[in-house]
Amino acid sequence: MTTVSLTINGDRRQVDVEDRTLLVDLLRETLGMTGTHVGCDTTQCGACTVILDGKAVKSCTILAVMAEGAELRTIEGLADGDTLHPMQQAFCDNHALQCGFCTPGMIMAAVNIIERHGTDIDESLVRRELEGNLCRCTGYHNIVKAVLDVAGKLPRASE
Amino acid sequence: MTQKPGKLRAEFRTELPSGWAFDEIEARIGPIRDQLFKQIGQPVRRKEDRRLVTGRGRFTDDFSVPGECYAALVRSPYPHARIKGIDPSAALELPGVLAVYTGVDALADGLGPIPHSPVPSTKFDVRLTAPDGEAPFIGPHLLLPIDKARHVGEAVAVVIADTKARAEDAAERVDVDWEELPHVTDSLEAIRPGSPRLWDEVPDNTLVCSHFGDADATDAAFQSAAHRVRAKFHINRVTAVTIEPRAALADYDKASARSTLYAGSGGAVRQKRELASVLGIDPDDLRVLSYDVGGNFGARNRVYVEFGLILWASRKLERPVKFTATRSEAFLTDYQGRDLHTTVELALDENGQFLAMRADNVSNVGARCVSLSPLSKGSGLITGSYHIPVAHLVARAVFTNTMCTQAYRSSGRPEVTYAIERLVEIAAEQCGFDPIDLRRRNLVSADQMPYRNAVGAIYDSGAYEENMDKAMALFQWPDIAARRDDARARGKLLGVGLANYVESSIGSPVERAEIAVSPDGEVEVVIGTQPSGQGHETSFAQVVADMLQMPVEAVTITLGDTDIVSVGGGSHSGRSMRHAGTVMTMASADLLAEARRRAGAEFGTPAEDLAFEDGAFKCRATNRFLTLSDLSTATAPLAVARTNEMHAPVFPNGTAICEVEIDPDSCQIEITRYASVDDVGRCINPLIVHGQSHGGIAQGVGQAMWEDCAIDPSSGQQIAGSLLDYGMPRADNVPSFDCEIAEVLSPTNPLGIKAGGEGGTTPALATVTLAVLDALRPLGVRDISMPITPERIWQALASAREANMQELVP
Ligand code: FES
Ligand code: FES
């Protein structure tokens, strides 16, 4: 067992974990934060995406002990009380989710796109950036639209 | 341009069976007046989104129960092998291992097979039978087999341990004594004489063989036809890849002797009924919870062995047991889809009028038969959107040493749509007709509706030619030549593929709704469908809100808990909105009738004199009014329940068009445009319906371009076992879509609903393939099979070049 200290959504946490524990398991199993999901075992689906020290990462492919001292943001920490984060709101407004399983990872990845690129983005950049997040329900159309919506830009196609 | 001789209409307008059209009087609902619709038809934002965007969804693996332990499965590495013995001793020695159970233990405890009901059961489904006309032998689906494993990945033992890692470690140490047997994975191989046999009960592996249509008339039409074309296709096997892997948690309460199963599925009621039967317990002793479900697409409709195994184990060990499939397990053992071999033939007269069709469809059901829905659905629709006077079909279902197949998004219909649309295109090319003109000439026309096709399906309503025109306008069809030139200038080959489709939406016939209005104005609706992203909490609330003239926010939909929801067919075959919409409309009428009676008594006026406006009963004489909540009290709540049985299928239809650009050097394909027009009948929520279409298109495109459960015939192993080797639609390989909804109401239900969602998938296999062939036609390519990878394009170009060379050599 190793003690990991990290900040999660602004709260300092100290957690004892087995060395082989994945970051996503620390969240889901140890802390009961089940908003971050697991959809695969080969770092392909992105359902587990969180923002670690300002970068969107797949938490299924990082050991919990590697997050020592890090600042971690998850879907649970995005809204400000009852007010949704603009990306969460845009996902609702544009019907960018159906089953909602990919959604937490998708939103964290999308938030990070805006954080890294600002609002100077277009459809092809968004599509390229989201290539590592799989969604089986939406065909991506409305997800792309939601991200562009946050940036104040909407794609050509109809609803 | 359109030639529809009047005599065809007279001849093919069909006698309607009783109970086909919806009867408002018999159903005891008043006429439904569209003018009152305030919510129906609006793009209402979804009620379910808030919890899902904030990480508060309730997916199966999110649940934990104190003291839970974990199940891991011992799976067959062979496609076909006899189990000579299973030795668990090495596994049991490991710390934390609680038990290892085999099929022999299950038999000793009296566990039964999963009571799959593979033969679709409504009055209008085509009748599939064994070759002798009897009910087909389906191969008992025991939780763990005792004689042999019949496909790679079949579970033969279950290990329970206190952690997931320990359970997995222990599963590797269970020693199975295997005797490998010869195997067969392709259905056409399996029906050859002398092929390996899966079940002694079915020596030639053919569990179903049925004939439909009129063989003699079809033969006669073929003999006298000016043109005949023929083609053979394989619609490849794919898998659902729900992003949430299948999972379940079983909890046993010794005091009450009841089990609770948390398991996302396509319908909790079926899971409860069938799992209770497997365990041999009273259904009342099992509660199934299915809250948020991370995608279904058919794969979660049927019961999985793991669900039964953990229920059984938790009862034996008196501890909660959890199972969450890894993605690799999902690839091997989620119920898979498609896998149809089809041979189709079309006869045409000299003007291009279709005269007759023949089809020979062979469905690969896998190692046992879980569902015949794909074969059955496709059988009724072989003639597609076209008027073909006579047809003959042989439909066969075949066992092979592969994972079982099941309905997968738009079960059976993309397969036959692919076949007919490719056949029509081949006919146009071989007989010298323009492919659009040929389609136009033969489409079933709006005034032929309701139309009975040559194998007996009754298309309810639709304007097929209008769909095609609208889709071509949406796609900006006249600009194709200019875009082709533009692509050529960039060194790219541009191709366009158009497909018309019609599909049947049937599904299990019974649905029940309970509606209660509380004294404080909350409306609670209990219903037995099960969403997995389709937004029922919103669209169902829209329907009830309009019926009761209440705000949509006041309506709460309760589903997914079998202690509350007693009846319900689940969500499949595009049935939910139609069945739920109908029964909710009926229950609303009952509720209003009761409220009217109470209001009349209260006012002391005849109930029929009261007006119902804005959610209140008004007494015209006194101007007094009573709202529904006023009429509900704690002691006498306003509450009703209605169960409805509805058999008549509906036929969503439409047209889709795909444009691709191919780089002839790298053979990379890009989808540059995709347009579709989908007639879904009445559309309750266009936001949701569009979303369904988008997702459906991506899944169809996925099958055409990347997805493939390829099986190596020599080893019987599935080649794709992870998301690294199973190609998926991703944000960067699909375009945005131009979708339009058409609403031709169905006469079979009160709201006129057909279905949405599957229509995106149904034509997509054909549109993509036809677009690629259109692009490659100038280089001599005439055929290509799915998935159309760059490698396949490269091979097709290479063989076309070779053929050209040979033609040049004298
Ligand atoms: S769980 Fe799939 S990428 Fe992390
Ligand atoms: S919304 Fe279902 S996987 Fe994305």
Q: For an interface test with A, which of B475, B736, B739 has the most A Cβ atoms less than 10 Å from its Cβ?
A: B736
Please report, for chain B, how many H helices and E strands are present, in that order. 21, 28
Task: Note the pLDDT of residue B574.
Answer: 67
**B577 has pLDDT over 90:** no
Mutation probe of ligand 1 site: the residue of A25, A27, A38 with most atoms within 8 A of C-beta: A38
Tens-place pLDDT, residues B51-110: 999 999 999 999 999 999 999 999 999 999 999 999 999 999 999 999 999 999 999 999
Residues of B in contact with A28 (CB under 8 A): 61-62
Over 50: is that where the pLDDT of B6 sits? no
CB nearest to B687's CB, from A136, A137, A159 = A159
Most B CBs within 10 Å, among A44, A87, A95, A134, to test the B interface: A95
pLDDT tens readout for residues B752-807? 999 988 999 999 999 999 999 999 999 999 999 999 999 999 999 999 999 888 87
Using the atom order of ligand 1, give the atom closest to the CA of residue A59: 4
Residues whose CB is less than 8 angstroms from the CB of residue B364 and which lie 6 or more positions away in sequence, other chains included: B186, B187, B190, B237, B339, B340, B341, B398, B400, B402, B405
Q: Does pLDDT of B3 surpass 60?
A: no
- With CA atoms as reference, the chain B residue closest to A130 would be B731
Classify domain B63-181+246-324 at the CATH topology level. Aldehyde Oxidoreductase; domain 3 (3.90.1170)
pLDDT tens for each residue of B603-633: 999 998 899 988 899 988 888 999 999 999 9
Which two tokens mark B617?
């009963």
CB of A134 closer than 6 angstroms to any ligand 2 atom: no
* CATH label, B1-20+460-505+649-810, candidates 3.30.365.10, 1.10.3760.10, 3.40.1360.10, 3.30.565.10: 3.30.365.10
* Domain chopping of chain B, boundaries: 1-20+460-505+649-810, 32-56+507-645, 63-181+246-324, 184-235+335-445
Question: Phi, psi at residue B725, to the nearest 5°?
Answer: -125, 10
Higher-confidence position of B252 and A158: B252
Phi-psi region of B52 (alpha: psi -120 to 50; beta: other; left: phi over 0): alpha
Which strand (E) or helix (H) includes residue A81? none
Q: Is there a shared CATH topology between the B1-20+460-505+649-810 domain and the B32-56+507-645 domain?
A: yes
Length of chain A: 159
Mean pLDDT of B735-740: 97
Q: Supply the pLDDT for residue B529.
A: 81
Q: Which of A138, A140, A142 to mutate to test the pocket of ligand 2 (most atoms within 8 A of CB)?
A: A138
Q: Residue B529 in contact with residue B536, Cβ under 8 Å?
A: yes
B532 touches chain A (CB under 8 A): yes
Instruction: Kindly state whether B681 is in contact with chain A, defined as any CB-CB distance less than 8 angstroms.
Output: no
Residue B7 has pLDDT above 70, yes or no: no
The Å distance, Cα B26 to ligand 2 centre, comes to: 41
- The answer, for B57 touching chain A at a CB cutoff of 8 Å, is yes
What is the reported pLDDT for B572?
66
Fold (topology level) of A2-77? Ubiquitin-like (UB roll) (3.10.20)
Determine the Cα–Cα distance for residues B84 and B65; give it in Å rounded to an integer.
Answer: 37
The strand pairing partners of B366, in sequence order, are B399
Interface test with B, best of A44, A97, A141, A149 (most B CBs within 10 A): A141
The per-residue pLDDT for range A31-58, each reduced to its tens digit, is 999 999 999 999 999 999 999 999 999 9
In this prediction the ipTM stands at: 0.97
By CB neighbour count within 10 A (0-12 exposed, 13-18 middle, 19+ buried), where does B635 fall?
A: exposed
Encode pLDDT of A127-139 as tens digits: 999 999 999 999 9
In b/e form, how buried is each residue of B152-184, taking b as 16+ CB within 10 angstroms?
bbbbbbbbbbbebebbbbbbebbebebeebebb
Q: Over 80: is that where the pLDDT of B570 sits?
A: no
Q: What per-residue confidence (pLDDT) applies to B576?
A: 83
pLDDT at B571: 64
Segments making up each domain of chain A, as ranges: 2-77, 86-153
A105 Cα: distance to centroid of ligand 1 (angstroms): 9
8 Å CB contact between A129 and A118:
no
pLDDT in tens, B465-474: 999 999 999 9
A36 touches chain B (CB under 8 A): yes
Strand partners, B641: B514
Which pLDDT score, from 0 to 100, does residue B2 have? 37
- Chain A residues near residue B62 by CB distance under 8 angstroms: 28, 34
Give me the helices (H) in B186-261, please: 187-190, 215-224
pTM for the model stands at 0.96
The pLDDT > 70 percentage for chain B reads: 97
Confidence of residue B810 (pLDDT cuts 50, 70, 90): low
Domain B184-235+335-445 belongs to what architecture? 2-Layer Sandwich (3.30)
Residue B402 falls in which region: left (phi positive, over 0), alpha (psi -120 to 50) or beta: beta
A-chain CB neighbours of B328 within 8 Å are 41
The answer on pLDDT for A155 being more than 80 is: no
* Closest-CA residue to B288 (of B324, B254, B250): B250
pLDDT at residue number B569: 64
- The answer to whether the CB of B709 falls within 8 A of the CB of B717 is no
Among A44, A100, A135, the residue with its CB nearest the CB of B52 is: A100
pLDDT of residue B296: 95
> Average pLDDT of chain B?
94
- Give pLDDT tens digits for B107-122: 999 999 999 999 887 7
Q: Is the CB of B49 under 6 A from ligand 2?
A: no
Summarize the confidence of residues B122-140 as an average pLDDT: 91
CA distances from B297 to B42, B60, B126, B326, B337 (A): 25, 17, 22, 19, 10
What CATH number has the domain spanning B32-56+507-645? Answer: 3.30.365.10
Q: Which amino acid is at B348?
A: L
pLDDT(B559) > 90: no
Cα–Cα distance list, B598 to B296, B327, B516, B618, B630 (Å): 43, 56, 15, 12, 10
Q: From the CA of B162, how many Å to the nearest CA of chain A?
A: 14
Q: Which residues pair with A94 in a beta bridge?
A: none
Confidence of residue B124 (pLDDT cuts 50, 70, 90): confident
Q: What is the mean pLDDT of residues B332-355?
A: 98
Q: In chain B, which residues have their Cβ closer than 8 Å to the Cβ of A142?
A: 691, 694
Query: Pick from B72, B78, B75, B74: which is nearest to B718 by CA?
Result: B78
B280's tokens: 């041999």
* Other CB atoms within 10 A of residue B5 CB: 9
Fold equal for A2-77 and A86-153: no
- Taking CB atoms and an 8 Å limit, are B295 and A137 in contact across chains? yes
Q: How confident is the model at residue B601 (pLDDT cuts 50, 70, 90)?
A: very high
How many residues does the structure list for chain B? 810
HEC secondary structure over B46-81: CCCHHHHHCCCCCCHHHCCCCCCEEEEEEECCCCCE
Nearest to B684 by CA among B43, B30, B33, B29: B43
The reply to whether residue A134 touches residue B728, judged by beta carbons under 8 angstroms, is: yes
Residues A41, B698: C-beta atoms closer than 8 Å: no
Tokens of B151: 């496909």
Whether the predicted pLDDT of B8 surpasses 50? no
Closest CA to B688 of B41, B55, B56, B52: B41
- Centre of ligand 2 from the C-alpha of residue A103, in Å: 6
B476-502 average pLDDT score:
98
pLDDT (0 to 100) of residue A157:
44
Correct CATH for A86-153 of 1.10.540.10, 3.60.40.10, 1.10.150.120, 1.10.10.10: 1.10.150.120
- Ligand 2 pocket, A136 CB below 6 A? yes
pLDDT in tens, B304-325: 999 999 999 999 999 999 999 9
Q: How much is the average pLDDT of A103-122?
A: 97
Contacts 24+ apart (CB under 8 A), B282-286: B284/B258, B285/B257, B285/B258, B285/B259, B286/B258, B286/B259, B286/B260, B286/B261, B286/B311, B286/B562
